[in-house]
């Protein structure tokens, strides 16, 4: 039975850890430097807590990295530095004599170029790398998330005992899984950004009710806009990663650089201070507008 290490046991990370634990895997993580909220999420998911990152790297056969997009390369660097600590390096060397090298799976919302940078950092440390991305909410919120995977050893991650989530291998090229996320997130989070701006503008002009009646729920409910707003801090870097991805495809990056500015502004509003796991599904458009005011 493979041991799964988890770097980043927040809302999504703990949900994926729970999905693997339900399948029978031992899932370990460290809460060093993490918040009380993260500790509660890890406990609810039944994750095994170890003192620090060195313990995660030492024990795990597979390490899943689920951090904010702007922290992805830094997390790869931390893992690489930890892997070079003598007692950790000795354990990894022994493991490599028996089985394939330990795998690091980056599941962050990053551009293909950033995924390639993270892969370079990881492989230089003597570890192998799988590029990954996640579509859908944490399995603890609603089962059915899709995990896109790419890289030479992506199939090994797909073969883990996943429950409540579906792995899909999209190729052997690092960056392919991230490219999927950059394209899908541009639609999902772009629409939420548009809806947030529409609600704010309509409220300011005193026409929120007819605007919401006209739009209906085709482009997002007040709850979905509010939920996205609680994650606005993470979305800023993600929008910049999408802009970078689109520029690499020969498209203008300006659209998602503008969305980065939209989410940066939302991140400074009271609604952004909420927690996604405690947000009321009954929140109204008026409450969303109030929570996005100064």
| pLDDT at position 156 over 70 | yes
Label residue 288 by pLDDT band (50, 70, 90).
very high
Higher pLDDT, 98 or 207: 207
Q: Which class would CATH give 3-173?
A: alpha beta
| pLDDT at position 92 over 90 | no
Task: Kindly give the pairing relationship between strand 145-150 and strand 165-171.
Answer: parallel
Average pLDDT of the residues of the chain: 95
Per-residue pLDDT reduced to its tens digit, 169-206: 999 999 999 999 999 999 999 999 999 999 999 999 99
- Least Cα distance to 45 among 26, 68, 64, 63 occurs for 26
- The C-alpha atoms of residue 184 and residue 180 are separated, in whole angstroms, by 6
| pLDDT at position 40 over 60 | yes
Label residue 1 by pLDDT band (50, 70, 90).
low
Q: Record the tokens describing residue 214, joined without a space.
A: 């006209």
pLDDT score of 117: 98
| pLDDT at position 110 over 60 | yes
pLDDT score of 96: 57
Q: Phi/psi class of residue 274: alpha, beta or left (left: φ > 0; alpha: ψ in -120 to 50)?
A: beta
| pLDDT at position 97 over 70 | no
| pLDDT at position 48 over 80 | yes
Per-residue pLDDT reduced to its tens digit, 235-286: 999 999 999 999 999 999 999 999 999 999 999 999 999 999 999 999 999 9
Higher pLDDT, 96 or 61: 61
Q: What is the DSSP string of 57-115?
A: HHH-SEEEE---GGGHHHHHHHHHHHHTSHHHHHHHHHHHHHSSPPEEEE-SS--HHHH
Report domain extents, the chain.
3-173, 180-291
Q: What is the pTM of this model?
A: 0.93
| pLDDT at position 34 over 80 | yes
pLDDT score of 185: 97
| pLDDT at position 100 over 70 | no
Label residue 130 by pLDDT band (50, 70, 90).
very high
pLDDT score of 71: 96
Per-residue pLDDT reduced to its tens digit, 214-227: 999 889 999 999 99
Q: Which of 76-90, 92-106, 176-190 has the lowest mean pLDDT?
A: 92-106
């Amino acid at each position: 039975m493979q041991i799964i290490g988890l770097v980043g046991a927040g809302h999504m990370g703990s949900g994926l850890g729970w999905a693997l634990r339900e399948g029978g895997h031992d899932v370990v993580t460290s809460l060093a430097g993490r918040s009380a909220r993260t500790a509660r999420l890890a406990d609810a998911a039944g994750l095994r807590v170890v003192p620090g990152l060195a313990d995660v790297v030492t024990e795990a056969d597979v390490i899943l990295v689920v951090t904010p997009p702007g922290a992805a390369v830094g997390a790869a660097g931390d893992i690489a530095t930890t892997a070079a600590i003598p007692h950790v390096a000795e354990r990894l060397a022994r493991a490599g004599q028996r089985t394939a090298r330990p795998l690091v799976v980056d599941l962050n919302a990053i551009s293909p170029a950033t995924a390639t940078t993270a892969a370079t950092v990881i492989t230089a440390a003597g570890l192998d790398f799988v590029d990954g991305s996640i579509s859908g909410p944490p399995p603890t919120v609603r089962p059915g998330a899709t995990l896109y995977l790419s890289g030479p050893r992506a199939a090994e991650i797909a073969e883990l005992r996943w429950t409540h989530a579906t792995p899909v291998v999209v190729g052997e090229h690092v960056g392919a899984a991230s490219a999927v996320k950059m394209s899908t997130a541009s639609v999902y989070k772009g629409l939420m950004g548009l809806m947030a701006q529409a609600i704010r503008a309509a409220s300011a002009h005193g026409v929120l009710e007819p605007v919401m009646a006209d739009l209906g729920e085709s482009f997002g409910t007040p709850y979905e806009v509010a939920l996205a707003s609680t994650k606005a801090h993470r979305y800023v870097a993600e929008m910049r990663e999408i802009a970078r991805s689109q520029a690499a495809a020969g498209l203008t990056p300006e659209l998602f650089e503008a969305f980065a500015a939209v989410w940066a502004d939302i991140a400074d509003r009271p609604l952004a201070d909420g927690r996604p796991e405690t947000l009321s599904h009954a929140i109204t458009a008026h409450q969303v507008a109030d929570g996005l005011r100064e």
